[in-house]
Amino acid sequence: MKLIEKFADQIIDSGAYKPLDKIYVMNKIRGFVGDEDVDATDDKPVVAQLVDLAVKRGKIEDGQTEREILNDQLYDLMTPRPSVVNETFWEKYQQSPEEATNWFYHLMTSNDYVKVAAIKKNIVFDKPTKYGNLEITINLSKPEKDPKAIAAAAHDTKKKYPQCALCMENEGYKGRLGQAARSNHRVIRINVGGQKWGFQYSPYAYFNEHCIFLDSKHEPMHINRQTLINLVEIEKQLPAYFVGSNADLPIVGGSMLAHEHYQGGRHSFPMMKAEIKKPLHFDQYPDVTAGIVNWPMSDIRLTSADTTQLIDLGTHIIDVWDHYDDESLSLKAFDGDTRHHTVTPIMHRDGAKFVLDLVLRDNNTNKEYPLGIFHPHKELWHIKKENIGLIEVMGRAILPARLKNELAEVKKYWLGEDNNIAESHLPWAKQIAAKMDITKDNVDEVMEQELANVFANVLENAGVFKDDEAGNAGWDRFIAQL
C-alpha cells in the first residue's frame, strides 16, 4: 500500500476524521512530506517512514528536534481537538472515572504522546531488601537533569513561551530547540481546590499510567494545608490513582520546582506496602489511624475516612516539622529566612479510607555533605547522585542511562574478562567480589540484587531519622512535639 494513503486510512480509523475527509487528510500529510506517494514498508512505523521521507525530500533538516516536531505534527492529525477530548473524557466519566482514564490513556499512547517505544527501552526489575521488594529502573528513555540546574530553574524569571514544560500553553505547541514538540498533546481540565487545573499523562512514564496534575497558573510549588486539600480532591475524582507532590525545596524536591504540580498513576509502590512499625495516637483526631512506617525514609502514615481530620492532622505535622530543630541529628529548620524543612506528601485510597504518607525532608548541606546531608552520600554517587524525588521516596529507583554500559563492564570485571571498568565503580565491585563467588550463571542476579541494596542505602541516607538508637530517640522527641 502507498505510504501517505496508509496513514490517511489510520487517521480515519482513529475516528478523528470520517471517510469523506480522506482527500483532505492526504493533502494535509502531503503538506508535511511532499506530494508524491511512495510504497509503505513493514520495517518501521508509518509515521517514522513519513518523517524519513520528509528528510529525504528536504522538507525538514535531519536533526532530532526537527524529526520530533514533524512526528508529533503527523500524530496530531489523528488526535481530536482539546475541546472534543475534554467532552469525551467527561462523558465517559459519568459512567465511571476508570472508563474515562482508560479512554484518555489509550488515546495518548496510540497518538505517540506517551512514548511507548522509548519507555520499553528502560531496564526494570525488583529485588528483595530488608524493606521489602524495591523497584529498580535504569532510565534509557529520558535524560536526567543536573541537581544544580534544577535549583537554578526554580528561580528562572526570564520570559519565554511556554514558560515551562508543565504550562498548559504546551498543548498543541509546535516545539523548537530546547522546547519539546507538543502538537499531539492534550490536557483534561479539572477543578482542584476551587482553581483551574489540568490532568495529563507523562510522555516518558516511569510506571503504569504515570500522570501529572498541574496548576493552570505558572506559580512555584508549595507544600501546605492547601496541598492536602488538593490531594484529597484529586483522590475523590480519580480513586484508582495515587497522587503525590514532590517536596518544594531544592535537593529534596523534584526537577520542576517553578510550577505547582503533582504526580499520580495506577501503580502500587513498595512504600505503600510497608507496614507500620510504631503506632501513634493523637487524641484530638480520634478517627485517624497513625503510625511510623517501617521504611528507610522517615514516613508518618495517616489513614482515615474523615478527610477533615486527616487534613487537620497532616497540616499540624507539616507545620511542626517546618520549624523543628534537632542539633544532635543535624536537623535545622531555618538559616535566617531560608527554610530547610518540608515534606513529600503522597495519598492513595484503601476503599473508603484515604491514606496519607508524609515523608519528612531536610535539605541542609555542610562541608562533609555539600550536595545534602540527607541526600545520597558520596560513596553511592557512582550509582545514584541525583535528587531523591517523589517516585524514589516510594521505593522505585530512577537510575541514569550511563549505568547500562558501565555495569556491563563491572560484570566483565567480576568474571575476570577484559574490561573498561570505571574507576568510580572499582571499590564497590571489589567489595562485592570479595564476599561471594560470581559466575556467568549468577552474575546478572548478583548485579540486580546489589543495585537494590545500593538503592536501599540511598533511601537510608535520605531519611532524617535513621533506623538506629539515635534515630529512634529522635523520632520520640519529634512525636513529643506533635
Residue 94 covered by a domain:
no
| 266/378 same-domain check | yes
In a domain, 441, yes or no: no
Residue written as grid cell 521521507: 53
Across the range 439-446, mean pLDDT stands at 98
Domain assignment of residue 328, yes or no: yes
pLDDT at 146: 45
Residues 312 and 207 in one domain: yes
- Residue 326 domain-assigned? yes
Which pLDDT band holds residue 178 (cuts at 50, 70, 90)? confident
- 304's CB contacts (< 8 A; 6+ apart) are 285, 287, 288, 289, 310, 353, 354
What is the spatial distance between Cα 292 and Cα 290, in angstroms, rounded to a whole number? 7
Kindly report, residue by residue over 136-149, the tens digit of the pLDDT. Answer: 999 998 744 446 54
Number of domains within the chain = 2
How far apart, in whole angstroms, are the C-alpha atoms of residue 472 and residue 1?
Answer: 69
- Same-domain check for residues 356 and 300: yes
Look up the domain containing 18 and give its range: 3-78
Q: What is the distance between the alpha carbons of residues 171 and 177, in angstroms, rounded to a whole number? A: 17
Q: How far is the C-alpha of 388 from the C-alpha of 398, rounded, in Å?
A: 9
Cell of 351: 476503599
| 323 and 256 inside one domain | yes
> Do 389 and 293 reside in the same domain of the chain?
yes
Same domain, residue pair 59 and 202: no
Cα 383 to Cα 381: distance, rounded to the nearest angstrom: 5
Q: Write down the pLDDT at residue 171.
A: 98
Is 71 part of a structural domain of the chain? yes
pLDDT of 135? 98
pLDDT tens across 304-340, in order?
Answer: 999 999 999 999 999 999 999 999 999 999 999 999 9
> What mean pLDDT is reported for the chain?
95
Is the same domain home to 131 and 60? no
Q: Is residue 191 part of a domain?
A: yes
Q: Are 464 and 331 in contact (CB under 8 A)?
A: yes
Are residues 287 and 355 located together in one domain of the fold? yes
Element (H, E) at 129: strand 123-129
Q: In this model, does residue 124 exceed pLDDT 50? A: yes
Residue 331 is classified by DSSP as B
Please report whether residue 44 resides in a domain.
yes
Nearest by Cα to 254 from 170, 164, 318, 158? 164
Same domain for 71 and 150, yes or no, is: no
Task: Supply the pTM of this predicted model.
Answer: 0.93
**pLDDT at residue number 151:** 66
Contacts of 88 (CB under 8 A, 6+ apart): 80, 103
Model confidence over 200-214: pLDDT tens digits? Answer: 999 999 999 999 999
Pairing of strands 396-399, 132-138: parallel
Euclidean distance between CA atoms 326 and 481, whole angstroms: 11
Residue 10 predicted with pLDDT over 70: yes
Task: Give yes or no for residue 47 having a pLDDT over 70.
Answer: yes
Q: State whether 215 and 349 are in the same domain.
A: yes
Query: What 3-state class would DSSP assign to 236?
Result: helix
Tell me, yes or no, whether 376 and 276 share the same domain: yes
Q: Is there a domain that residue 320 lies in?
A: yes
Q: N- to C-terminal Cα distance for the chain?
A: 70
Rounded mean pLDDT, 100-127: 96
Q: How many CB atoms lie within 10 A of CB 49?
A: 21
- Convert the pLDDT of each residue in 146-163 to its tens digit: 465 456 556 656 678 999
Q: Give the E-state strand segments of 351-407 in sequence order.
A: 353-362, 396-399
List alpha helices for 340-402, DSSP H.
390-393
Q: Which position has the higher pLDDT, 177 or 247?
A: 247
Nearest to 361 by CA among 350, 369, 372, 349: 372
Look up residue 165 and give its three cell numbers.
514544560
